[in-house]
Structure 1
Amino acid sequence: MRDILLRLSEEEGAGPAVIHRLSDEDVAACTGESEKTLRAYVRGLRQQADLAAGIKPLEWNVAVNCRGCGPVWLWPTCPAEVIACPWCRHRKAGTRIPTPDPSLPT
């Protein structure tokens, strides 16, 4: 199963590190899932790794005000103000998060 996930991570542009970080139990839990589901899982792992590194997902292009983080980039269907956001835990962990320039239009 790990080999399948490694192949999919390469095809999805996620790189092998996101798969190598998985525990054997996490890999085993993927058994029996469709390729579509596994690809979505790999994309989610990549997104979480990117967020932890302070990298904004390409599709997160709307400036939103988070009560915890202040101005942040989130996805288009997000409300203009949120109580907390996916960046909060990374900010609290000390990661520098990308923030929109309030003087520029979004």
Structure 2
Amino acid sequence: MSWRETLGVTEAAGESHAHNPHNAQKTAMQDNSADSADSASADAEETASRLLEALSDACRGLPITPAAVRDALALEDIEDWRKGEITRDTLAVFARSLVQRREMERGKRPTHYTERATCKHCGPIWLWFSGEVLGCPWCWNRVADRPIPRPDAVRCQDCAHFQRTDHPHLGHCAKGEPEAIAGLWDTDRRYCERYLPHPEPGDNDGSAGSEYLTKGEFAK
């Protein structure tokens, strides 16, 4: 005996279908929707599993986890990978770039950054080519107040963090760099990872230059 017969609704149910033939269609549509949802969920799980497998290969030998690389991917990136537009080699390059970025955030120079260059906003820097640039990968460190390794010594008088005292040549470092009791002599040259050149008129807060990074023009 069915649940309809037990509850005495067999005839009523039959009449309902007779008066509203769309009920059968609605039931079928609901079943199809449920099947579609289950199918989409299964596809998403399979995609996530295959992506982690690909990222495991990309991260082999690197101090970074597949999950960390996955979290750094944009949704568009994952979709492009799913469509085959991003190869495993590209994922490997991306993973290495993330590791390099982490090292740079700690103030470590990448091994292939062997050339002396000058950034308008960061001052003297290490890059993979020489010359002057308007923005550089070290700008991320500058904006986040992280250290920047220097290829050359710098002078305090040229630094935005140098705060002069009443003495014509002495001052103190706003970033707390080591100094004598009397302070720092403005023309002395020293190695300093906190050095930043004075912003030029029109630079406002000195954060200009990061626009070049958001476009990826200096990622290397």
Which blocks of at least 5 consecutive residues in structure 1 are unaligned?
none
Which blocks of at least 5 consecutive residues in structure 2 are unaligned?
1-50, 154-188, 190-220
Relative CO higher for 1 or 2, CA cutoff 8 Å, sep ≥ 6? 1
Aligned identity (percent) is 29
Corresponding residue for residue 152 of structure 2: 101
Give the TM-score normalised by the residue count of structure 1.
0.74
Aligned residues: 100
Cα contact 2:55–2:70 (8 A) shared by 1: no
User: CA–CA distance in 1 between the matches of 2:76 and 2:148?
Assistant: 28
User: CA–CA distance in 2 between the matches of 1:60 and 1:18?
Assistant: 25
How far has the Cα of 1:88 moved from its partner? 1.0
1:1-106, aligned counterparts within 5 Å?
A: 1-11=51-61, 13-16=62-65, 18-19=68-69, 21-22=71-72, 25=75, 28-29=78-79, 30-31=81-82, 32=84, 33-75=86-128, 78-102=129-153
Q: Which has the higher Rg, Structure 1 or Structure 2?
A: 2
Cα contact 1:67–1:81 (8 A) shared by 2: yes
Cα contact 1:2–1:27 (8 A) shared by 2: no
Give the TM-score normalised by the residue count of structure 2.
0.39
User: CA–CA distance in 2 between the matches of 1:14 and 1:27?
Assistant: 22
Q: Is the deviation greater in 13-22 or in 2-11? A: 13-22
Whose helix proportion is higher, 1 or 2? 2
Secondary structure of 2:107's counterpart equals coil
Cα displacement string for residues 39-78 of structure 1 (whole angstroms, at most 9, x for unaligned residues): 1121222222222222211000111111111111000xx3
Rate the CA distance shift 1:21–1:34 in 2: closer, same or farther, 3 A: closer
